[in-house]
Amino acid sequence: MGWGNDNKSWQVVFNELPTTLEMLRALPQANLQEPHYAAALLIPALCLWPTNKNVALEMINFLKGPQGLSTYDIQFISERLRGKEYVPFSYFAGTTPENGYEPSKPYTVTISTVPTSYAEDGYVKFYLKSSGADSPRPVQLRKKPSSGEWFLWEQMLLSDIRIPVSADPWS
């Protein structure tokens, strides 16, 4: 494979967050030839979900490629983000529970590997750090050999994180 087992990380930078599928597809990261780019593109799509679920769905289905989101997946994301719109923003640099998970610009997502990231052939598991969680959260991608594209396979990014201070009535 030639990847080695050392831990790597990439910073993926967005000058602005895409608000349409066309904007997402126009990003240089959207060619899906680099798996860490495909993982990073999930974050802006999830950020859009609470305000424009249909476009966010189009974006995520683009990232999922041959196998789109199931009805269960859609319900799961909706439930996880209900009243917790800040969760996906916590993956951007500059966010803290204290600043209400307000990202600094340009928007930067750090994607990291661990020694087991490439353990399964044709898949890669990356880890993203949420500023509101103690440990990084995984995103798995799957390679489509015929096109060389990497598609979103599974994500576990939407578990609860620390509530933003501004939203905590007890702060």
pLDDT in tens, 44-83: 999 999 999 999 999 999 999 999 999 999 999 999 999 9
SS3 2: coil
Predicted TM-score of the model (pTM) = 0.92
Structure confidence by residue, pLDDT tens digits, 7-52? 899 999 999 999 999 999 999 999 999 999 999 999 999 999 999 9
Spatial separation of the C-alpha atoms in residues 93 and 95, rounded to whole Å: 6
Structure confidence by residue, pLDDT tens digits, 108-135? 999 999 999 999 999 999 999 999 999 9
Inter-residue contact 45 to 56 (CB < 8 Å): yes
Angle of helix 53-64 versus helix 71-81 axis, rounded to 10? 130
Spatial separation of the C-alpha atoms in residues 37 and 33, rounded to whole Å: 8
Residue spans per domain, the chain: 9-163
Element (H, E) at 151: strand 149-155
